[in-house]
Amino acid sequence: RAGDQATMTQYTRAVGAVLDTLGDVRVVVAHSLGSIAAIGAVAAHTGRMPECAVLIAPPATLGAVLERWDG
């Protein structure tokens, strides 16, 4: 719903659902926080490993981002 917020876990699962739906994904392109979700989804879905991941401006420190995101 509009105005609701998602956790990083939910975000990662959503990206994983897209990977499942698309099937054979060769390249994943992600920006900023999407980089964390994309890498998490790829790691959790080992049967569908893309050949390449292009991460544009990913966060430098994962811990601080997740703490702020998930509270």
> What is the extent of the structural domain holding 39?
8-70
- Examine residue 59 and state whether it is found in any structural domain, yes or no: yes
4, burial (CB in 10 Å: exposed 0-12, middle 13-18, buried 19+): exposed
> How confident is the model over 7-59, as pLDDT tens digits?
888 989 999 999 888 888 899 999 998 999 999 998 887 666 788 999 999 98
| Residue 4 pLDDT exceeds 90 | no
Between 34 and 71, the more confident residue is: 34
In a domain, 3, yes or no: no
Q: How many domains does the chain have?
A: 1
Q: Is the whole-model pTM more than 0.75?
A: yes
Residue with tokens 């999407």: 34
pLDDT-based confidence at residue 1 (cuts at 50, 70, 90): low
